[in-house]
Amino acid sequence: MGIDGKAVDALGDERLDWRFKAIPVSAHGLTVGEARRERLPLDDFGTPLLTLDAGALDHNVRAMAEWADAAGMDLAPHGKTTMAPALWRTQLDAGAWGITLANLPQLRVARAFGVRRVLLANTLLDPAGLAWLAAELEWNPEFEFQCWVDSVRAVELMDEALRLARAQRQVDVCVELGGPGGRMGVRDDGDARTVADAVRKARTLRFVGIAGYEGALAHDASEEGRGTVDAYLRRLANLYRGLEYETGEPVVSAGGSAFFDQVAEVLGGLEGRVVLRSGAYIVHDDGFYRGISPFARGAGGAGSRLRSAMHAWARVMSRPDPALAILDAGRRDLSFDAGLPEPQLVRGKGAEPVDGARITALNDQHAYLVDGSAEIGDVVRLGLSHPCTALDKWTMLPVVDDAGAEHPTVVDYVRTWF
């Protein structure tokens, strides 16, 4: 197993109380395990609230695992999406090769739960963090770790810090290739080879692969966007083929949740280990990823289409104008960076809001619902866009049996660490 199952199981012993938004007072004092067995009705929970859907989570995990296996790729899902060790275990149990993370605090959460193989899709330069990593690698021989570098200076700083920490194990490093207008990553292929040479010369580091992120270069599935992604992935593949590594099984890694079909097409036949890092798929959404996911474009067949596993619930507090309802959820509860929430239904009434109902704006604690039929006191289910900035506002997520039911039942609770 790629995670400490006992540590994850111990989360069931945590007691529910005022620390967790929307948990009903009737559940305060219960452990998570006890509340799970109680199977409380969602009607008992306050608003605002964010829930996960058990059936959608299960479907999404299986669909992605089966697709990656058929494509001949290893999956190291980006754990930053959920920061939920219980969900990481679900992904690992389904065959994931490891867990990807973005920074040192996230890495420490992973190690607290015994995640055995971590790909840090970033450069780690913090001297104190590198000293901690060196000790973690020394004390835990089973721990496998890789991170990225994109400059000779970064190699020098890592090597210096690890030497000062008297690191006993080399840190595995991938050179990151970027692109024009992208985020981090070497822009020039020749510079990438220079960085690779520097890694090979550093006693504390080991050059094990090439990595990158195509999602920073295109933000839609247009012909132009997909062409940009293809061109970048071909560069990545050519660079990977032309370098010498300090391991018998080098790694080439790419892939967010928007273009993983193209990653498979371009990188899938390469020798070594091809690692896909998609993360948003487990939760998916009713916004950006619903529109851009390769499964929505037909990859994997109709049965692979992902389902949104997250929904927000907000209560109508006021109808100050005939066409306006004010809900009790805002930017501190809901994601909004990749699109505003989508009103979907009124709980217990079994009907969609009237055609044209929409959220037009969010304040910190309020949402503006226009042209909806919901009345004061009604609870509206909202679809959200971008799970990474939805889940980070919640430390305990109730999991319902069916978010589309008239009266959903809470069957589990997922703890997050953001």
Q: Which fold has domain 55-284?
A: TIM Barrel (3.20.20)
- pLDDT digits 0-9 by tens, 286-315: 999 999 999 998 887 766 799 999 999 999
Contact 152, 125 (CB under 8 A): no
Name which of 365, 389, 407, 400 is nearest 48 in CA terms.
Answer: 365
CA distances in angstroms from 408 to 47, 90, 128, 208, 339, listed in the order given: 15, 22, 47, 48, 26
Model pLDDT, residue 253: 97
Half-sphere CA count of 239, side-chain side, radius 13 A: 29
Name which of 277, 254, 278 is nearest 266 in CA terms.
Answer: 254
Return the SS3 of 400.
strand
Six-digit token string for 201: 């010369």
Q: Is 269 exposed, middle or buried (0-12, 13-18, 19+ CB in 10 A)?
A: exposed
What are the residue ranges spanned by the domains of the chain?
A: 5-54+306-415, 55-284
Q: Which residue matches tokens 């964010």?
A: 50
Q: Beta partners for 397?
A: 414
Phi/psi for 365 (5° steps) reads -125, 10
Model pLDDT, residue 355: 73
- Cis preceding-peptide flag for 48 (omega within 30 of 0): yes
Return the SS3 of 67.
helix
Contact 78, 100 (CB under 8 A): yes
Amino acid at position 297, single letter: R
Name which of 381, 393, 318, 333 is nearest 353 in CA terms.
Answer: 381
Q: Are strands 74-75 and 273-276 parallel, antiparallel or unpaired?
A: parallel
Amino acid at position 311, single letter: H
Model pLDDT, residue 181: 85
**Spans of the chain below 50 pLDDT:** none
Six-digit token string for 184: 């981090």
Distance CA 145, CA 125 (A): 15
Half-sphere CA count of 83, side-chain side, radius 13 A: 22
- Cis preceding-peptide flag for 320 (omega within 30 of 0): no
Model pLDDT, residue 302: 63
* pTM attached to this predicted model: 0.96
Q: Which fold has domain 5-54+306-415?
A: Lyase, Ornithine Decarboxylase; Chain A, domain 1 (2.40.37)
